[in-house]
Amino acid sequence: MMRTISSRRHSLFLAASTFVLFLVFGYVSDLIVLRHSGWLIADGLIMATAAGLVVLFYERERGRLLSEKLRVIRDMNSFVRNELQILYASTEHLEKTRVSAIEHSVARIDWALRELLPGHHPSPAAVVKNIGESKDNAERSA
């Protein structure tokens, strides 16, 4: 399952903590530089390294989350395509057994949408109703 994205409160806490940490670290390093001016280059290097590490960790986490989202999309794409092939093959001859296959495929697609993707999705009954209406409309226009 995909990990939930951190809340706004958590993000603000991390940003504030990082701000305070850099502020204190910068103040202490400035005190050292005022007493020992030879440490000026080391102070700049340390602060630049710390800022670079923060950006590196942020980008690594963002890339990991994007990769996870793309994996879920790929999985959903293949899953839904497989179920839609069953639905398409079943619409040619609407017999009792075909209707149960359609209902089973719609239920599996609904499960996948509810479990793997966040958000609200229509119930299988509504999807089956829409499929029936689409087929009726197609027959009327033909």
Q: Mind listing the pLDDT tens digit for each residue in 69-105? A: 888 888 888 888 777 777 777 666 667 667 777 778 7
Residue with tokens 């839904």: 80
Backbone φ/ψ region at 119: left (φ over 0), alpha (ψ -120 to 50), beta: left
* Number of other CB atoms surrounding residue 79 within 10 Å: 16
pTM of this prediction?
A: 0.49
Most confident of 15-19, 94-98, 137-141: 15-19
From the number of C-beta atoms within 10 Å of its C-beta (0-12, 13-18, 19+), residue 139 rates as exposed
Residue type, 136: D
The pLDDT tens digits for 55-66 are 899 899 999 999
Contact 50, 22 (CB under 8 A): yes
